[in-house]
Chains A and B, each alone.
Chain A
């Protein structure tokens, strides 16, 4: 079985600070993986290291079968994957259409993609010429997901998308992610603080605590949620 993402023994941090210590995880094809943990525990750092924004001090990262350790971010980004960062994920001054066009050049594929996405989010087609910054918070998150789904990648990395969304919207989002995985076999790495949402879509999970994986396993049922909550208790 080939892994879409393979992180082995990776340590990284900012300047002198070591945020991640010897972290390993793998994501298989068509798998939805939830990376859980409280703020400041290193989840975003892990994503940034995987993408090449941060240099891994040790260990190796393999993406879609290729060794991408130390590769420049834009080269990593071009390997059939989509990344939705936690902050600054959209170009506020560019229109919806331009934000989409940045990942899918103008043409038939872009049009077909927009059509497809608009079935999930009619808003997209309606607001193509509006500046992304004028959309509401929830609509912006929809746009971010749309952009990720547009290119039909093999792996989607999503950093804290559920923040600030209404429960009903979160449910829809979970549904859409599951459907896309069904349709295309895309793998998804979901970094989340919202445990309920994460566990409602994920097949497997891991919990990051002070830069190390404190717990991991398969999502089997309600008992998983209880065990995870126990780890994350305030």
Chain B
């Protein structure tokens, strides 16, 4: 029972961390970054590089964040900005990019499944049950990510401008805010977050070029269901993540993997605002 609760908590945390970057980009740029999965992979392989270089595994996170930001910057300038007013094409272009990135990584690193060194190993015993310490750490990580985004949005000038652009871009422009620059920085940040999430999740399983894919649709659905609100995203992560865990445990893991997609599609069909107070 207790491990079930922990499972729900950790699954929700992982989902939140993975989807947070997507949400931020959607809010400010109003596009869904279909290259999100590729950034997860970039983060994972950054962690792999850190392992290969024999560095302290904790370095994986800042390294992943850094590479995500850099690559995000290039993509925003070259691909996202020119098609800003073609949202459907933005989906395709970013999707194409994920294929390109995936292939580059495959060519560079090979297709085999590889492993990273986890910074926290072992399990902890609580209430008579043992649970992976790393998974518990992920809950903390999700909280830090949420806190970090919240702090940036609410306590910095850039965050204020970003919130203004999210709410009413023409008004923001009329007040002198360079919305182009805000979009650029937001995209870099969102990509960096995605990359960080990739580094966070790899110690759980392994590293291969296709690891982004199972997370992709789930992250999209979570973001659609949350509208543009971190609080709704957290709620959605808990509710849908919890459903997934329950179905996986009591029905079948494979059907469990489909729970989020099916539930989210139905929720949106019946209540288009999803979980937000809209």
Task: Verify whether A and B have any Cβ pair under 8 Å.
Answer: yes
- Segment 158-205 of B: residues with Cβ below 8 Å from A: 160-161, 163-164, 167-168, 170-179
A89 at the interface (CB under 8 A from B): yes
Name the prevailing secondary structure of the A interface residues.
Answer: loop
B170, A77: Cβ atoms closer than 8 Å:
no
Complex Cα spacing A93 to B171, Å: 13
Known A53-B170, A85-B171, A89-B171: A74·B157 in contact at CB below 8 Å = no
- Segment 48-68 of A: residues with Cβ below 8 Å from B: 51, 53
> Can you name the residue of chain B whose Cβ is closest to the Cβ of A90?
B171
Complex Cα spacing A65 to B175, Å: 20
Known A77-B173, A102-B160: A91·B167 in contact at CB below 8 Å = yes
Which residues in A have their C-beta under 8 angstroms from that of B170? 53, 73, 88
The CB with the most chain A CB atoms within 10 A, among B157, B170, B173, B178, is that of B173
A112 at the interface (CB under 8 A from B): no
A212 at the interface (CB under 8 A from B): no
Total chain B interface residues with beta-carbon distance under 8 A: 17
> Can you name the residue of chain B whose Cβ is closest to the Cβ of A72?
B173
Which residues in A have their C-beta under 8 angstroms from that of B157? 105-106
> Can you name the residue of chain A whose Cβ is closest to the Cβ of B179?
A74
Complex Cα spacing A51 to B176, Å: 11
A-B contact count (CB 8 A): 53
One digit per residue, 1 when the CB lies within 8 angstroms of any chain A CB and 0 when it does not, for chain B 120-144 equals 0000000000000000000000000
One digit per residue, 1 when the CB lies within 8 angstroms of any chain B CB and 0 when it does not, for chain A 76-87 equals 011000010100
> Can you name the residue of chain B whose Cβ is closest to the Cβ of A73?
B173
B161, A91: Cβ atoms closer than 8 Å:
no
Which residues in A have their C-beta under 8 angstroms from that of B172? 74, 102
A101 at the interface (CB under 8 A from B): yes
- Segment 25-48 of B: residues with Cβ below 8 Å from A: none
Name the prevailing secondary structure of the B interface residues.
Answer: helix
Complex Cα spacing A88 to B164, Å: 12
A215 at the interface (CB under 8 A from B): no
A102, B161: Cβ atoms closer than 8 Å:
yes
Which residues in A have their C-beta under 8 angstroms from that of B164? 91, 94, 102
> Can you name the residue of chain A whose Cβ is closest to the Cβ of B177?
A74
Which residues in B have their C-beta under 8 angstroms from that of A53? 170, 173-174
Which residues in B have their C-beta under 8 angstroms from that of A102? 160-161, 164, 172, 175, 177
Complex Cα spacing A93 to B174, Å: 18
A98, B167: Cβ atoms closer than 8 Å:
no
Known A101-B160, A102-B160, A105-B157: A93·B167 in contact at CB below 8 Å = yes
B168, A88: Cβ atoms closer than 8 Å:
yes
> Can you name the residue of chain A whose Cβ is closest to the Cβ of B171?
A88
Q: List 27 A-B contacts (CB under 8 A).
A: A53-B170, A53-B173, A72-B173, A73-B173, A74-B172, A74-B174, A74-B176, A74-B178, A77-B173, A77-B175, A77-B176, A85-B171, A85-B174, A91-B163, A91-B168, A93-B167, A94-B160, A94-B167, A98-B160, A102-B160, A102-B161, A102-B164, A102-B172, A102-B175, A103-B176, A105-B157, A106-B157
A74-B178, A102-B177 known; 11 new pairs, CB 8 Å cut-off, are: A53-B174, A73-B170, A77-B173, A77-B174, A77-B175, A85-B174, A91-B163, A91-B171, A93-B163, A94-B163, A103-B176
B interface list, Cβ under 8 A from A? 157, 160-161, 163-164, 167-168, 170-179
